[in-house]
Structure 1
Amino acid sequence: MLKIDQLELGPVQTNCYIVSNSDKDCLIFDPGEESERIVALLQKKSLNPLAILLTHAHFDHIGAVDDLRERYSIPVYLHYLEREWLGLPNLNGSGKYAMLPDYRIKEADVLLNEERVLQIGPFEMELFHTPGHSPGSVSYSFGTEGFAVVGDTLFRGSIGRTDLIDGSEQKLLQSIRESLLTLPEQMVLFPGHGPDTTPQAEIAGNPFLKNL
């Protein structure tokens, strides 16, 4: 059975998830900022990170990527449609806010380009392309473990914003309908911000999905 640790990081409290197994291997999802807090958790639990996986390349999900990649010599996974976003503040959104530094992250090591079963060491997950919040948004489903990491596509009682570069409400709702709401009703969905939820809960009570 896999274990999930959650940290709320950075200026907008982005959820970073550490998924680990009994052998102490782990994957890091969306290390948005505060690399020292992530390192402290890894050290406390004696975890060995194998990779960094990004649900998308907005600034609040990528701030600690280079620190962790260099410290642990691990690859970064990102959808190919956002391959240029890591290094361009006008695309990753950091250039939009005067109070933030420009986020310029090195290129991803592995570009994801199709929906498939993704194997990283002992970890196996199903990759879904879930655009709408951003063109390269993806979700990672650990079906046999009963959870998925869904980024900013779907939140408890809400959905991702679509007013950023290349966002699309139509595509977002299609992604939610076809990729997330079709998952098992009780599967735990871990979003990029806020508390977790399930497809059943969102079908029953999310006001943005009442017409789906």
Structure 2
Amino acid sequence: MKRFTLFCALIKAPVYAYDKFDIQVCNAIKTNHARNQCLSELGIPKHIADNALKSAPTNTPITKSQILNVNGIAPYIDDVVIMLNRLKQTNTRCQQKLDPINAGISQSRSTPGNPSFFVQCGVINDIEVVRFTLDDIKATNAITASKHLDKNNAMAACRNRLKNAMNTYSNASIPVFGVKDYSQFSGGNVVVTYDFEATNAVGHNTKQQIKCYFNGAKLELSEIKKR
């Protein structure tokens, strides 16, 4: 009888102990199919992850107990809380949704005396990683939502990047070309694609392609490859 009672108690015990970071990782995925696959592989029920996405009402202040205390963020949690509450009031994408569990500290972007932080804002399929520093917090700087760079300016910036890149090749020349693709993505991200031909010093033509990646008005990365 005692064994049976113990067995029943074990059945009633909680089966899952969900890791908040695992939920955060899956919820950060922008496509529903990939997000659901992530949840499935980690054994996290979808309703648990959906509940984690729900933000507190705008008029409910964020507290430091809602922030994951990992990766050295502990000394700055009070400052981060100040900025997260500010973002909920002033940043249009953070007004849509801001989950404190997605806040963290960036080791790669931090500098001595001025750590860099991030938080994900926005709804599924339109999420932006909003970044801010300790100096931004202290100076009460406003961090606005990124806007997509318009097509003409994005094309011009990508052309300039291409011309500068081609200058590194001996006698390389670029014929007249047109934009192949201009695409907008979530968080103010834009990708411009050009197909072109480069001619080297001995007259050999190479078909190539450049992709320019923008975050707001900033050209963050470009890639050139053969077609």
State TM-score, norm by structure 1: 0.28
Higher relative contact order (CA 8 A, sep 6+): 1
Bigger CA radius of gyration: 2
